[in-house]
Structure formats: C-alpha cells, structure tokens
Structure 1
Amino acid sequence: MRFPFGYGLSYSDFSYRDLRISEKGVSFKIRNNSDVDGKEISQLYISKKDSKTYRPSLELKGFNKTLLKAKEEKEIFIPFDEYSFRYWNLKLNRWSIESGRYLIQIGSSSLDIRLSSEFEIQGEELDDSSFIPRKEIPSYYFGKVDDVKDFEFEKILGHKVPSSSYSFIKKNRMLVHCNTTVNELKYAKGFIGRLFAFSIIAAIKILRVFGDYKNSNTLIMGVLHQPMRGLSRMTGGSISMDELDGLILMFNGHFFKGVHQFFKAKKEKKKSLKQGENKIWNKSK
C-alpha cells in the first residue's frame, strides 16, 4: 500500500492530546506545531477485538476537518450516532449493538493512530450459536476469495450449494447457452469459446504477476463470471442479443453457421439504426 486510507500531505505538523470519551462522542485537542497555517482531518475509528460476530478490524465512524493557524490549538468533538456501534444481525434480521468494550482510536490516517482508549457499551448479549466459528471458514474470513471451497460457502449460505445449471454433453464439453459464464466457456465445444475463456484467464494471471490487482479483480468480477446474456449490456449494446446468438453458435462448435448469424444480425442492426436516424431527421424538419 503506497498511501493508507485518510492520508494527506501538509506543510504543517500536528499533534493530538487529551482524548475524552462519553456516551455522546469523543473530544480531543489538536495543535499546529508549525509556523504555517494548515488543515487537518482527524478521523474516528472504532473496533472490537473480542467480537462474537464478523467485523472489519478498523471502521471509520466519523471525521472532522479543522483549520489551524500556526501554533494554534483547538478542541475537537466528533459525535457518536446510531451507526457508530451497530452491525447487521443475520439471526434477528435487524440492526443490533453488541455489548462489551470497544477500542476508540483517533488518527490522521488509518495507519497513523495518535490517540486510543477503550469504552464500555451496553447493548445486546449475543448467542454464540448464531455465528460460524472462524476456523470453519478461514478463506472467507481472511478474504482469500480464490480459495473459498464449497463446504465454506455452504456454511455461509446455510444450505447446500445448488447444482450447476449445465451438464456435460461429453467429457469436459458442455452446451453453451445465454446463462453460461465466460469462465465456463473453457468447457465449450467450439475452440472459439475456449480461446475466449483462456485469454481472459491468462490476462488475469498476467495482471497479477505484474501486481495490477485492481484490473485483475475487475476482470474476475466484471467479465470472468459474466453470463453470456450480460455481454450485450457489458458492451453497451455493441453486441446485440441476435449477434450474441451467433457467438453462442460459434462457441458450440458451429463456426460458419455462427459467423453467418453474427454478421446477418449486425447488418440488420445497422439497417435498423439507420431507419431510426432517418425518422428522427424527418421529425426535426
């Protein structure tokens, strides 16, 4: 990580002191130690290490942007609100507040914590049986999305993973339809489908090798698991549903038939667009 969350550059140097916590919120003092006027964004983070449910290790719950003149000190107050300590209770299907001690932290970024103290909150006592032990879903808990197994996902779902909506017509070959995902095209009968799938998978791996996780994750979430019917929307209409039928024919091994269908649909789409433009032109006269 090059810059932590909340990080900002400044010509001024700020110090924090005197953290006080009440039921209404937190107060503390900030001093500008430099000879230059500056603005500081102080951030309130809340966490609960012994929580019986799943929480982020650090949650931003408030902030305050303060202008401080050179050598000036101000007292800052950041209030608690109805969102500060609550979480979504899956068992009760509503928002709840967990009782216990919370760690209250004040920082100039998520990694630059200046003040911290614990605070007791009276909420609800949670039933341990309503939560899945973290050791039973380690991949989910540690965010290793590529390693999540069916048994872990079933623990989270609360029931068995539904069977796949496709079946192999022969060994490692399947019939492609509008609900088939790009990732599943690696089992397509036609080499065009397999080539398309493996090119996306290869692009994801190459991006990860070079450390470009942002674009690789975008391909995983936005393309790899996209069903065929979503390609039309994903391309902004560049591929119509009729053109998609041609691609599906190619993916199923009917290459020439699919090419004919694809270009026939493309020609009809151009004709339809031209007729629409003429109608608009005639109306504007």
Structure 2
Amino acid sequence: MEKNRTTTYSPLRDNVLDVAFYLQRIGGGKLENYAQVCFLKWAIEKRILILENDSLIKRAPTTMFFLTEDRMEEESVESLLWNILLEAADEKNKIIDQELKNIVKEEALLFVSLENKLTNDSKNFLIENGFLVEKERRLLYFNLKTSQHSTTKGEKLYNHLKEYFHYLEDLIDQNFDLKNEIESWEEVFTWISLFGLADKVYNKMKKIPSQQLDIPTGMPKQLIETYKKLAPFLDSFSIGFTYASNSMNSGRSCCV
C-alpha cells in the first residue's frame, strides 16, 4: 500500500511528552529530542539567551546559554532538564556547550533514568487513555514479559504521527518549498526535533542562505537563526547522552 504523505497538520496540540512511546517507534521521541524541543522553546520565550564570547585564544567564538529565570517547581521532564541546566551553570547563570556535554556524561544514571521516565510516563498515558493495551505473559508464578499493542484509537494516532513524519521529511527534502501555508513554524520545528530530523535541517541550513529560506517560505528569519545557534548545544547533549547510555549499558553487561 502506498504511503500517505499528505498529512500537513500536527497530530496533537497538547502535551507532546504523551506520545514519546509512539515517536520512539518511528525513530524519534528520545530524551535528546525532547531536550532540543525544550531548548528551542526556552530560546523563543527568552528564558535562555544564546550568547557568543569572542576569544583571542580560541579559533571560534564560544557559544553559551544565559539562563534568565530561577528553578522550576514542577516535576515534569522539562522542569527537571531546566533545573539540571541551572545547577550546572556558573554564578552568572551561564553555561557553555562543552560544560553541558560534561554534565550529561557525569550524571549518566540521572539522564538515563530521565529517559526511562519519559518512556514510561508516555506508555502509561497511552494505556490510561485507551490508545494502548498492555499484556503480561505469565508462567506459573513468574511474570515473563509484557507486550503492548495499539487499540483502534491508538492505531489512528500512530498512523497520523507516521504520516506527519513523512510530510516533514518531504518538506525538508524539498528545501521547505511549500504547497500549503504553514500556520506555525515554531510548531513545525518542534515536531522536526521530536521526530529526530534536526540534523537533516541543519545540513540544509548550512547549504542554503537564510534569505532563501525565509522569503519564499514565510519562515521567520529569527527562528532560523535561533535554530542554527542551538546546534552546538544539541550536539553536546546528544554526544553526552550517547556516552551516558553506553556507559550504563556496559555497566549492566559486566555485572550480568
């Protein structure tokens, strides 16, 4: 059956954390993808400012976050990420990308646990709201394995996510040449991040000047520049988290 690539609107406008379980089946929905969404959201809201510090010693300017707000009190993934970032910042609430990578490496257990929380919270939401059914295989008194399958309602949501993923893939491949008007570019870039497509966008942005993107497509120039400036932090978080995950996995395997 031919893939439907015509879905041009996002699958939901509520809490995007709720669909992490499904996004992981498509290739996104990882903690680093949600961290990217948070960084973009905070930059748009001016909760973080992206600064460059020119140095005579370094060949390239150092990019840093300047955090403009205090701790968050909620127990959400976003709040936990913010508070970790705030604690890692210096006395002036500034943190460079290398420091971000180091904190993710050093706090491997914390970040891997946070990703597990992300997955489990999403799975529980989908089960509680009728999108997913979980079954447990038992042998005598032993619980062997749990498996999940989608309900009709869940299949509809999952297929919508896949269709929107393919739409965004095509949009990027076509250099954002639009046939349909985009209501919210911020929302589009949020979903690009959630689906793990940010690297494709960065590669496009390196080849295409900002002027060629913002004028014909209506994409805000400030949003393009913000997305570009976030790249070193997203790379650092991704590298740090990959190291953290590998170190945790190797620790488990050596103890089995």
TM bucket normalised to smaller: under 0.3
**More helix by proportion, 1 or 2?**
2
Query: Which structure dedicates a bigger proportion of its chain to strand?
Result: 1
TM-score by length of structure 2 reads 0.23
Higher Cα Rg, which structure: 1
